[in-house]
């Protein structure tokens, strides 16, 4: 059921606003979601959306570098930002008395971030170090979220590495930054969300005061990233010098998250039936009974649920012993999917998964930062922030027949299979080679 106090309106410059007052604790959450993620970054500039997210924390025309950090932390607050396939978000959680400070800071960098050569060079180095730590020098780094899309998809927006290749990052220019900001960081391309302890009248007045004079620029026309599903099984291979065991990642196309939400939710429940808990089907068969793998997981949404528009990916990943072949794992997986496609799950099995999902959603939305971000992203992607409050009910309504149909759609002749093989190359040489290839 929708929160009766949810308030939505749009400023004259096009900024969409969502207000969710909640007086249970004297804190506020503020977020700004921009309708641009790494699927929108220019070809030849992999990782640019993430790089630009970093630049938005480097000061503005009216605030020096690190001022944003200092003002939030001195108020007793916390902050961050993140880049997703189809949006980038920035947020703060602070004591309620600091609401105006948070609104000023977000409006200030929406108006004019400090784009300098020094800041650009510094943040390129920061992002490169992040890639080294999280991808290049970590076992199974980038598996499957960087490594699987190039196997499943054929177009640049869907297939490329959103973290970025070093060569592309190093070639980014201030002109690229200015063009990216002018195109995507307009108020008409953003959603501002405020949740927590405030009155609607107070918030409206402060939002108009700080955001009302941010110059209007037309929101860019968002292209469709649609592409045909595979007409056969696609295979790729990656050598990981840090992986102790082989792994396999399987990717399937999912129903449109926006225009076929019911089909999308059925895939979320299917992922739970397959791998959620020791009693799940793939855990029981592949980990406990046979066993073929040491770890297995399934997920609806390559980066998690409700992170992207169409197309999105259903993934199954497994780490297995050297003596077990990829085809053995795939054969067992296909057999379990065929069983589900032929015979829908029992009511008890289904309710166990949907109850866990409902509990998880309620738990997440009890956290102010999670609720603020969810309201903003759903307003941006679905045009309806209140859908956040109806998700648990919609998830509980998923039928066994819908889960069975979702399993039937995960066909061997329309999927991508990524094989990860352990490597024994010298780590420094492997890192150097990967730095050039991660593009």
Mean pLDDT of 250-279: 96
Report d(CA 151, CA 145) in Å as an integer: 11
Residue 427: pLDDT band (50, 70, 90) is very low
Of 173, 196, 211, the one marking the end of a domain is 211
The answer to whether residue 38 is domain-embedded is: yes
Report d(CA 31, CA 88) in Å as an integer: 10
Is residue 258's pLDDT more than 70?
A: yes
pLDDT value at position 431? 43
Is residue 294's pLDDT more than 60?
A: yes
The answer to whether residue 222 is domain-embedded is: no
Same domain, 288 and 152: no
Same domain, 201 and 252: no
The answer to whether residue 228 is domain-embedded is: no
pLDDT value at position 407? 98
Same domain, 179 and 86: yes
Same domain, 238 and 206: no
Report d(CA 207, CA 218) in Å as an integer: 20
pLDDT value at position 424? 67
Same domain, 261 and 153: no
The answer to whether residue 291 is domain-embedded is: yes
pLDDT value at position 434? 41
The answer to whether residue 223 is domain-embedded is: no
The answer to whether residue 369 is domain-embedded is: yes
The answer to whether residue 226 is domain-embedded is: no
Same domain, 154 and 267: no
CA 255 to chain centre: 17
Same domain, 201 and 306: no
Is residue 437's pLDDT more than 90?
A: no
Q: Total structural domains in the chain?
A: 2
Count of Cβ atoms closer than 10 Å to residue 304 Cβ: 11
- Give every CB contact of residue 129 below 8 A, 6+ residues apart in sequence: none
pLDDT value at position 362? 87
Give the structural domain span for 353: 234-437
Same domain, 278 and 129: no
Of 165, 180, 211, the one marking the end of a domain is 211
SS3 label, residue 307:
coil
Mean pLDDT of 373-390: 96
The answer to whether residue 294 is domain-embedded is: yes
Same domain, 385 and 265: yes
Is residue 3's pLDDT more than 60?
A: no
Contact 319, 419 (CB under 8 A): no
pLDDT in tens, 310-340: 999 999 999 999 999 999 999 999 999 999 9
pLDDT in tens, 180-215: 999 999 999 999 999 999 999 999 999 999 999 999
Both tokens assigned to 137: 């020098």
Mean pLDDT of 54-70: 91
Same domain, 131 and 243: no
Report d(CA 88, CA 373) in Å as an integer: 11
Same domain, 251 and 322: yes
**Average predicted confidence (pLDDT) for the chain:** 93
Question: Which tops the pLDDT comparison, 280 or 435?
Answer: 280
Same domain, 183 and 245: no
Give me the torsion for CA of 104, 106, 108, 114, rounded to 10°: 140
pLDDT value at position 5? 80
Q: What is the CATH number of the domain that holds 195?
A: 3.30.830.10
Is residue 66's pLDDT more than 90?
A: no
């Amino acid at each position: 059921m929708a929160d009766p106090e949810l308030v939505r309106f749009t400023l004259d410059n096009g900024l969409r606003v969502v207000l969710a007052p909640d007086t249970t604790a004297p804190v506020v959450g503020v977020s700004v979601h921009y309708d641009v993620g790494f699927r929108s970054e220019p070809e030849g500039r992999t990782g640019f959306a993430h790089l630009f997210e970093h630049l938005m924390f480097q000061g503005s025309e009216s605030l020096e570098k690190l001022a944003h950090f200092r003002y939030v932390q001195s108020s007793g607050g916390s902050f961050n930002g993140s880049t997703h396939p189809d949006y980038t978000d920035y947020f703060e959680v602070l004591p309620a008395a600091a609401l105006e400070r948070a609104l000023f800071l977000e409006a200030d960098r929406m108006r004019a971030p400090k784009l300098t050569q020094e800041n650009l060079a510094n943040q390129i180095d920061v992002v490169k170090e992040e890639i080294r730590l999280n991808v290049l020098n970590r076992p199974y780094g980038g598996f499957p979220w960087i490594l699987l899309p190039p196997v499943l998809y054929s177009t640049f927006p869907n297939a490329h590495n959103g973290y970025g290749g070093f060569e592309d990052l190093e070639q980014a220019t201030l002109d690229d930054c200015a063009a990216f900001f002018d195109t995507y960081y307009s108020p008409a391309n953003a959603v501002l969300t405020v949740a927590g302890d405030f009155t609607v009248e107070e918030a409206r007045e402060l939002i108009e005061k700080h955001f009302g004079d941010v110059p209007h620029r037309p929101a860019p026309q968002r292209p469709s990233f649609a592409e045909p599903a595979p007409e056969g099984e696609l295979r790729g291979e990656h050598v990981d010098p840090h992986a102790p065991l082989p792994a396999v990642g399987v990717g399937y196309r999912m129903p449109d998250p926006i225009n076929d939400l019911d089909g999308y939710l059925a895939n979320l429940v299917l992922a739970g039936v397959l791998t959620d808990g020791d009693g799940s089907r793939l855990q029981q068969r592949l980990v406990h009974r046979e066993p073929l793998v040491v770890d297995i997981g399934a997920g609806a949404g390559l980066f998690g649920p409700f992170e992207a528009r169409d197309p999105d990916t259903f993934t199954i990943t497994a780490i297995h012993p050297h003596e077990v072949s990829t085809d053995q794992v795939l054969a067992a997986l296909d057999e379990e999917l065929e069983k589900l496609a032929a015979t829908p799950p029992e009511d008890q099995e289904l309710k166990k998964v949907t109850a866990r999902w409902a509990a998880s959603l309620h738990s997440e939305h009890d956290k102010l930062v999670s609720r603020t971000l969810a309201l903003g992203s759903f307003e941006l992607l679905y045009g309806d922030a209140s859908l956040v409050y109806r998700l648990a009910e919609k998830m509980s309504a998923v039928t066994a027949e819908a889960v069975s149909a979702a399993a039937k759609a995960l066909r061997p002749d329309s999927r991508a299979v990524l094989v990860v093989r352990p490597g024994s190359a010298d780590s420094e040489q492997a890192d150097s080679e990967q730095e050039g290839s991660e593009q």
